[in-house]
Every structure is written in structure tokens, then in C-alpha cells.
Amino acid sequence: MGKTTTTINLGTALAAVGEKVLLIDLDPQGNASTGLGIGPALREQTTYDVLMERVDLAQIAHKSIVPNLTVAPAGMDLAGAEVELIETPRRHYRLANAIEKAVEQDPALTYILVDCPPSLGLLTVNAMAAAHAVMIPLQCEFFALEGLAQIMRTISQVRTRLNPHLELQGVILTMYDKRNNLSREVEANVRENLGEKVYKTAIPRNVRISEAPSHGKPALLYDLKCPGSQAYVRLATEVIHRERAA
């Protein structure tokens, strides 16, 4: 239960309170697309075509099963984008250019969420070069702390070289179990080092959240009353407050 689950359910929660959300799937596995009801048959054009500058985001975006939430889907062809773009000038800004055009075409968009691949390659750097803030879902496990340090270094490098406006919006603790000593230790460690950058809301281990993708639904539509769904509603409230404060 990590980045894709958080992207799907945070996007759903934001849309549910009236925000207009575009979710950009930048992971070749396309799990965010699937989790919002955009199956492979609907992905004739994907974010790969956007990065190749063949189409605009608006041309590939699909209405999801969630009102106010549209999805720019991904497919396995995206895996080849890093190789194809390796010698292309300004290759790090392909997504930034596409997002700028999408906002011009639809000024009503209030949130654009990008689901990145698990590796810190060109696709993820494209997302960071386009974003104004990064949200890091952190599983409450020991090895996740090493990954957090690596992501923080990448954010710093992108801020220095590509996007001086990039900030860490916050760290989201996921798969949290207050009965588990390791969960509490990871939480204490992260909160001690990052302070208010860690969201107050932690996403608990919850079987209903794990079941939801197999039904092609966000957890909030699959079971709104389960603890995981309620946690994402609280997280969305925190995100909105932070954005307004910023």
C-alpha cells in the first residue's frame, strides 16, 4: 500500500470535496489507471504519446468513475521513453510543457497528481521538474527509511538543476499499525527528523484498501466507512489546508 494507492485515493478524496483533479499516470505498469476504471482497452494513447509530443494531455484524458477526476493513462510503451528521450534536448521538461498546456486549456483544474514509477529515472525526474511539490508515501518498514533518504537527495538535485520551486509538501505514513513496535519506531524517527513535513494522518493497514483495486475502484468507492478510506479523507483535508497556507 504505497504511492499508487495513495495517489488514487487522495485524488478521489479531493474530487469528492469539489476539487477538479487530473491524475497523470506515469508508471508503465498503469496501476493508477486500472484502479480508476481505465482498462487497457481504453488506452489507445497514453502518457508515452504525451512525452513524445504527439498529443496533448487533454487528448488522452479519460473521465474516471469518480466525478471531477480525470485520468491520463499509462501503458507499457512508457517503459521505452527513457531510452528514446536520452539524447533529446530539454528532455526533463516534456511533462512540464504538457502540464502547462493542460492548465491553459482547462484553468478550472485545481489539483494535478502524478503517479510516478518506483525508480528514480527520467520519468520521475520529469514529474519533479513539472511539479511544485512532492508527496512521499512511506511504508512503516525499516528499509523504507533508506529509500526516503534517496528521494530527498533527488529532490535536492532537481531543485538545484531543474526546478528551483520544487518543495517537499509532506511525507505520508502508510501501512501503519499502532500495535506494531516497528511502525511506532519508524513514525518517531521520521517525525523527529522532518517535523511538520510529516502529515498528522497515517494510513493504517487495512484489507479493504488492498481489495479495492481488484474491483477497479478506489477504496473510497469500495468501502467509504473502512478505516483506510476515512484516513484518506482526513489526509485530503490536510493537503488542502497546507496548499491554502502555502
Q: How far apart are CA 10 and CA 19, in angstroms?
A: 11
Q: How far apart are CA 163 and CA 132, in angstroms?
A: 8
pLDDT score of 201? 96
Q: What is the pLDDT of residues 104-153, one digit of tens each?
A: 999 999 999 999 998 889 999 999 999 999 999 999 887 788 888 889 99
Using only C-alpha atoms, the chain has a radius of gyration, in whole angstroms, of 17
* 3-state SS, one letter per residue, for the chain: CCHHHHHHHHHHHHHHCCCCEEEEECCCCCHHHHHCCCCHHHCCCCHHHHHCCCCCHHHHCEECCCCCEEEECCCHHHHHHHHHCCCCCCHHHHHHHHHHHHHHHCCCCCEEEEECCCCCCHHHHHHHHHCCEEEEEEECCHHHHHHHHHHHHHHHHHHHHCCCCCEEEEEEEECECCCCHHHHHHHHHHHHHHHHHECCCCCECCHHHHHHHHHCCCHHHHCCCCHHHHHHHHHHHHHHHHHHHC
Q: How far apart are CA 14 and CA 48, in angstroms?
A: 26
- Whose CA is closest to 127, among 2, 27, 10, 227? 27
Q: What is the pLDDT of residues 192-213, one digit of tens each?
A: 999 999 999 999 999 999 899 8
pLDDT score of 214? 85
pLDDT score of 203? 95
Q: Bridge-partner residues for 21, per DSSP? A: 69, 111
Q: Name the CATH superfamily for 3-245.
A: P-loop containing nucleotide triphosphate hydrolases (3.40.50.300)
Category of 92 on φ-ψ map: left (φ > 0), alpha (ψ -120 to 50) or beta? alpha
79, 28 contact by CB (below 8 A): yes
Cell of 227: 478505516
Q: Bridge-partner residues for 174, per DSSP? A: 139
pTM, 2 dp: 0.94
Q: How far apart are CA 120 and CA 30, in angstroms?
A: 17
- Whose CA is closest to 191, among 177, 210, 174, 171? 171
- Sketch the domain layout of the chain as residue ranges: 3-245
pLDDT in tens, the chain (246 residues): 489 999 999 999 999 999 999 999 999 999 999 999 998 988 999 999 999 999 999 999 999 999 999 999 999 999 999 889 988 999 999 999 999 999 999 999 999 999 999 888 999 999 999 999 999 999 988 778 888 888 999 999 999 999 999 999 999 999 999 888 989 999 999 999 999 999 999 999 999 998 998 888 999 999 999 999 999 999 999 999 988 887
